[in-house]
Amino acid sequence: MRIVRGRTADPVRLVTEGQTGTLRLDPVLAEEGVRAFEAVFDPGARTDWHTHEVAQILVMGSGEGIIANRNGEEHRLLAGDVVYTGPDEEHWHGASPDVFVTYFVISLGATHMVGSPVTDDEYAETWARIAPSGD
């Protein structure tokens, strides 16, 4: 058993690879293939296409997010939503175009960056399909 009081020893870091836009990570836990952290995405920021060896769980904190996978599933995410992506499910996620988003993230096993960045056109087209009418 291990108890982490507050945070890991790692500082909040600005992610500079594997995403488009500004993403900040606040590490909470890093133990034996389990990583947990709080993530803040600036409006329009998103990850590149990636997979997780075992799984990833996103717990939406605040704001408005977006997630899509290679099977064509696309979802608008709101505070309180919980997302599970299974082993080797190729996906990307991020913030809506106009709103910051915060997630609590649990990643199990290795993360593999498997594809190219999500282009501005791909992002805009996905958002247009899932945005509520009137946006």
Q: What is the CATH number of the domain that holds 42?
A: 2.60.120.10
Structure tokens belonging to residue 57: 């769980």
Q: Is residue 13 part of a domain?
A: no
Higher per-residue confidence, 119 vs 9: 119
Q: How far apart are CA 74 and CA 91, in angstroms?
A: 10
3-state SS class at 3: coil
Instruction: State which amino acid sits at residue 24.
Output: R
Residue-range definition of the domain harbouring residue 31: 26-130
Q: Is residue 58 part of a domain?
A: yes
**Mind listing the pLDDT tens digit for each residue in 35-85?**
999 999 999 999 999 999 999 999 999 999 999 999 999 999 999 999 999
Q: How far apart are CA 92 and CA 35, in angstroms?
A: 18
- What phi and psi values does residue 22 have, to the nearest 5 degrees? -100, 125
pTM of the model: 0.89
- Quote the number of domains for the chain: 1
Q: How many CB atoms lie within 10 A of CB 52?
A: 22
